[in-house]
Amino acid sequence: MTTQTDHIEISMLISRFFRALDERKFEGDWARSYFTDDVRTVTPIGSSDGIEAMEDTKEALGRYARTQHIASDVLVDAEPVPVRAGASWNALMTHVHHDATLQQRGKDANPLFTVGGYYEAELRRTGQGWRISHMSVRAVWTTGEPPVLPPEIQPTQAA
């Protein structure tokens, strides 16, 4: 059974992570504030393993001028002696394209690429508090056009 404290700590971790993305706070060992060293992430454009792979997140956000990530309805399920937990939450992710992208696409280009979906995560309690050890995002709907991806990145197909 999840304690109220576990739910609050995990919800705050998620909120702080989303805020760090939007404020582009990637100083020092930023990823270790949210993730375990062996983290695995799964997104519509691929999977990454290990804390070093979180550099992919910085690169992905750099494709946009600004972003806003909103998390809601966080559900947490922790073990009776909480060492591990699962969490899921709805997310609305708004991405503002760079001016250069809009110029390239023409005068009627939509400045926004918006994604509605949800996240699922597994977490572990560490000496520094709860950390995400596995996180996946599933896009349910999108509006606008995504950025042009480099040729080496191919989006995964939804099942």
pTM of model > 0.85: yes
Long-range contacts made by residues 58-64, C-beta under 8 angstroms, separation at least 24? 58/26, 61/21, 61/24, 63/95, 63/98, 63/147, 64/95, 64/96, 64/97, 64/98, 64/113, 64/147
Return the structure tokens found at 49: 């393993």
Assess contact for 92 and 114: CB atoms under 8 A.
yes
CATH code, residues 4-143 = 3.10.450.50
pLDDT in tens, 55-105: 888 888 999 999 999 999 999 998 777 799 999 999 999 999 999 999 999
Residue 96: strand, helix, or coil? strand
Sign of CA dihedral 139, 120, 155, 149: positive
